[in-house]
Amino acid sequence: MRDDLIADWFHDGGDPARHDPVRAAQAALKPRLPKRFYAEVMVAVLEGRHAVMLDGRPARTKARALLAGENAAVAALVAAEWAAQGAVIDPATMPATRILHAAIDHVETARAAVAEEILAYAGTDLVCYRAGDPERLVAMQARHWDPVLDHARATYGARFALAEGVCHVAQDLASLAAIRPGIASRAGSAARLAALHVLTTISGSALIALAVADRALDAEAGFDAGEVDADFEMAVWGSDAEAEARRRNRRADFLAAAAILRALEG
């Protein structure tokens, strides 16, 4: 695999992702995309992992690690993205690849920090901040967010306080501690933790992310829950092509993260 492809594909110079998988998943693209240089994509077991192979050679991350999944299912998700590329390789259309790359090169060595960042979202979780009006928005928030809180309570015994407007509400430390095992259960795998982080940061909610990861919500419902306020604003004021494109990109990343979790957790 060409070194210049790795530089273009995962950004020249300093990598902004660090240990943050969502920044890697949403990183801006360079105007010039690398040309597709391979014909065949397959998956093969190398070094005990399921590696993406391009014309028989293993694809690698910018840090030169194998671009490989823990099982055949997650590797198949990534391989399908490479196979679907046309004349050029467009990372915007490869969210599973970007998330797995972030997991391998960044999350693997920073699992504790990533897990704590996810937990921190719960302290100011989106679903805890409710509008007082208009009635339509109040109803939308309740319809999408109440099941998320019900899941946190039923599954983890965590009861989160609600606030109206933007006034901060301090959450009970016991409730935050109660959901920690749900996050920790994914920390044994960098890819699972990276996917959970993407769900959290796109939705603005650790509780939505856990509801999707635990299959209390399907991926589409989880994404819609994170978009309630934005969708309401768009319904009232209208949208434009740029806003709609951003929403499509967020949705693609969110669904890819959920698919990675499904592939890894069966």
49-54/68-69 β-pairing: antiparallel
In this structure, the answer to whether residues 43 and 116 fall within a common structural domain is: no
CB atoms within 10 A of CB 123: 16
CATH number of the domain to which 53 belongs: 3.30.2180.10
The residue written with tokens 């990598």 in the block is: 15
Cα–Cα distance for residue pair 39/181, rounded to 1 Å? 44
pLDDT 10s digits, 212-232:
999 999 999 999 999 999 999
Looking at residue 32, what is its pLDDT?
83
pLDDT for the residue numbered 156 = 98
Convert the pLDDT of each residue in 14-43 to its tens digit: 344 444 555 555 554 445 899 999 999 999
**pLDDT at res. 22:** 55
CB 96 within 8 A of CB 47: no
Q: Which domain holds residue 245?
A: 110-265
What would the pLDDT profile of 43-82 be if each residue is shown by its tens digit?
999 999 999 999 999 999 999 999 999 999 999 999 999 9
Q: Where residue 165 falls among pLDDT bands split at 50, 70, 90?
A: confident
With vertex at residue 113, the alpha carbon angle to CA 110 and CA 119, rounded to the nearest 5 degrees, is 140
Among 42, 77, 108, residue at a domain's last position: 108
Q: Rounded to an integer, what distance in angstroms lies between the CA atom of residue 206 and that of residue 122?
A: 5
Verify that 66 and 137 share a domain, yes or no. Answer: no
Q: Which of 6, 19, 230 is nearest to 110 (CA)?
A: 19
* Mean pLDDT over each residue of the chain, to the nearest integer: 90
pLDDT, one tens digit per residue, over 190-210 is: 999 999 999 999 999 999 999
Q: What angle do CA 202, 208, 213 make, to 5 degrees?
A: 95
Q: Last residue of a domain, which of 52, 86, 108?
A: 108
Q: Which residues does 98 contact at the CB level (< 8 Å), separation at least 6?
A: 24, 25, 27, 91, 253
Q: How far apart are the first and last CA of the chain?
A: 31
Same domain, 134 and 181: yes
Least confident of 122-126, 156-160, 242-246: 242-246
Tokens of 13: 């110079």
At 8 the pLDDT is 37
Q: Which two tokens stand for residue 261?
A: 């979790």
209 and 83 in a common domain: no
Q: How confident is the model at residue 181 (pLDDT cuts 50, 70, 90)?
A: very high
> Is pLDDT above 80 for 13?
no
The count of structural domains within the chain is 2
Using DSSP's 3-state secondary structure scheme, residue 161 falls into: coil
* Amino acid residing at 74: V
Closest CA to 256 of 190, 198, 201: 198
For residue 35, give the amino acid letter. Answer: K
pLDDT band at 7, cuts 50/70/90? very low
